[in-house]
């Protein structure tokens, strides 16, 4: 999906709480999945994540672990139990149709879509939402261990992109697994509920690719935007990003044989959960020289690079 080196998930010392969460998706954070949104920590109508960043929305009660494309979901990504417990509820009846898409069902009262609810000792619960219809692999009353497959990421319920929404509760109250204390200051370094070090990223790049024109946004989200390039046609580089803020900038550069052939930088005028940008150049007289072209998409914040994807394409 992205970046030159994957973000590592490293074991942490045992924390001072009685729930320890394993990573609940069969994906590599920073490579094949990313965290799109966190629990909303703002008590009013605004939204902020546990760092006081903007990766949340008003009244969001869970952690959204997202896939880079619809194609990635269709390949099948397993959801697993985050901790040992008893399955106390499932739903497996909601079609995988995104909110607002043709044929989308009424999901009032079923916003979670297909999912699993697990009860853990000490009054804890974890809930797994937006799973694929027909994929639920457990039953009420069943005891599961951390890592037990529960089903697959889907598009059921109130969702517009493929992801697992994980909610954590204790005695019926929502808990942010990154900062369980309800009154913690922004960026507090108290013990999280994660058994692994789950790094925070304040936005980044999801994917990048090539086209002969500015692709349709739906194709970018589906993972089908890339097309072969012709020597006598335009060359367009695109980047798909998340968690962008007003004032960020995206830079797209194309090089051949180490020499820059195109560069474009654009300021982003608003904060968005997801967005994409594309830019390119018409073929020169005589067409593009044959060979490999290197594209670099960089996301900048306050002049500093916060993420980068490098990608290549060959023109015959």
Residue by residue, what is the 3-state secondary structure of the chain? CCCCCCCCCCECCCCCCCCCECCCECCCECCCEEEEECCCCCCCCCCCCCCCCCCCCCCCCCEEEECCCHHHHHHCCEEECCCCEEEEEEECCCCCCCCCCCCCCCCCCCCCCEEEEEEEHHHEEEEEEEECCCCCCCCCCCEECCCCEEEEECCCCCCCCCEEEEEEEECCEECCCCCCCCCCCCCCCCCCCECECCCCCCCEEEEEEEECCCCCHHHHHHCCCCCCCCCCCCEEEEEEEEEECCCCEEEEEEEECCEEEEEEEEECCCCEEEEEEEEEECCCCCCCCCEEEEEEEEEEECCEEEEEEEEEEEEC
- Return the percentage of the chain with pLDDT > 70, whole number: 93
Instruction: Say if residue 40 is in the same domain as residue 170.
Output: yes
Query: Does residue 284 register a pLDDT over 90?
Result: yes
| Full domain range(s) for residue 224 | 204-315
Give dist(CA 15, CA 46) in Å, integer: 31
Instruction: Say if residue 167 is in the same domain as residue 212.
Output: no
Residue 29 lies in a domain: no
- Do 25 and 65 contact (CB within 8 A), yes or no? yes
Instruction: Say if residue 212 is in the same domain as residue 112.
Output: no
How many structural domains does the chain have? 2
Residue 18: predicted pLDDT: 80
Lowest mean pLDDT, pick from 60-64, 133-137, 186-190, 191-195: 186-190
Residue 149 lies in a domain: yes
Instruction: Report the CATH number that the domain containing residue 307 is assigned in CATH.
Output: 2.70.50.30
Last residue of a domain, one of 153, 174, 195: 174
The residue-averaged pLDDT of 282-306 equals 97
Instruction: Say if residue 254 is in the same domain as residue 122.
Output: no
Instruction: Say if residue 169 is in the same domain as residue 92.
Output: yes
Residues 6+ apart with CB under 8 A from 196: 9, 10, 11, 12, 22, 23
Instruction: Say if residue 120 is in the same domain as residue 212.
Output: no
Instruction: Say if residue 222 is in the same domain as residue 295.
Output: yes
Closest CA to 129 of 176, 79, 87: 79
Instruction: Say if residue 60 is in the same domain as residue 149.
Output: yes
Position 182 confidence tier, pLDDT thresholds 50, 70, 90 = confident
Position 185 confidence tier, pLDDT thresholds 50, 70, 90 = confident
Position 188 confidence tier, pLDDT thresholds 50, 70, 90 = low
What does pLDDT average to over the chain? 92
Residue 18 lies in a domain: no
End-to-end CA distance of the chain: 25
Residue 273 lies in a domain: yes
Residue 17: predicted pLDDT: 60
Query: Does residue 310 register a pLDDT over 50?
Result: yes
Instruction: Say if residue 40 is in the same domain as residue 81.
Output: yes
Query: Does residue 111 register a pLDDT over 70?
Result: yes
Instruction: Say if residue 70 is in the same domain as residue 149.
Output: yes
Query: Does residue 271 register a pLDDT over 70?
Result: yes
Look up the pTM and report it.
Answer: 0.91
Instruction: Say if residue 144 is in the same domain as residue 52.
Output: yes
Last residue of a domain, one of 123, 153, 174: 174
Residue 183: predicted pLDDT: 80
Residue 189: predicted pLDDT: 62
The residue-averaged pLDDT of 280-306 equals 97
Instruction: Report the CATH number that the domain containing residue 92 is assigned in CATH.
Output: 2.70.70.10
Residue 261 lies in a domain: yes
Residue 99: predicted pLDDT: 93
Instruction: Say if residue 139 is in the same domain as residue 246.
Output: no
**Tens-place pLDDT, residues 5-58:** 333 444 443 444 689 999 999 999 999 999 999 999 998 999 999 999 999 999
């Amino acid at each position: 999906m992205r970046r030159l080196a994957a973000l590592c998930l490293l074991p942490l010392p045992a924390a001072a709480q009685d729930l320890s969460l394993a990573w609940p998706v069969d994906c590599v954070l920073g490579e094949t999945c990313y965290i799109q949104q966190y629990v909303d920590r703002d008590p009013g109508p605004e939204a902020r994540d546990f760092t006081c960043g903007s990766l949340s929305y008003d009244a969001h009660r869970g952690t959204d672990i997202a896939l880079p494309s619809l194609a990635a979901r269709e390949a099948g990504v397993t959801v697993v139990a985050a901790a040992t417990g008893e399955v106390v509820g499932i739903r497996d009846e909601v079609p995988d149709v995104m909110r607002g898409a043709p044929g989308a069902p009424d999901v009032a009262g079923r916003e979670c879509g297909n999912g699993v609810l697990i009860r853990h000792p000490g009054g804890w619960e974890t809930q797994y939402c937006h799973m694929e219809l027909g994929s639920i692999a457990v039953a009420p009353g069943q005891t599961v261990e951390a890592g037990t497959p529960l089903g697959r990421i889907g598009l059921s319920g109130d969702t517009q992109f493929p992801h697992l929404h994980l909610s954590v509760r204790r005695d019926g109250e929502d808990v942010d697994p990154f900062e369980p204390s309800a009154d913690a200051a922004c960026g507090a370094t108290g013990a999280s509920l994660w058994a692994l070090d789950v790094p925070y990223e304040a936005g980044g790049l999801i994917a990048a690719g090539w086209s002969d024109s500015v692709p349709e946004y739906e194709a970018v989200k589906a993972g089908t935007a890339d097309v072969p390039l012709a020597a006598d046609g335009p060359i367009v580089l695109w980047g798909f990003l998340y968690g962008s803020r007003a004032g960020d900038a995206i830079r797209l550069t194309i090089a051949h044989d180490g020499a820059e052939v195109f560069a474009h930088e654009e300021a982003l005028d608003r904060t968005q959960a997801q967005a994409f940008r594309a830019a390119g150049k018409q073929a020169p007289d005589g067409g593009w020289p044959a060979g490999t072209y290197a594209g670099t998409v960089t996301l900048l914040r306050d002049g500093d690079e916060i993420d980068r994807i490098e990608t290549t394409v060959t023109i015959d």
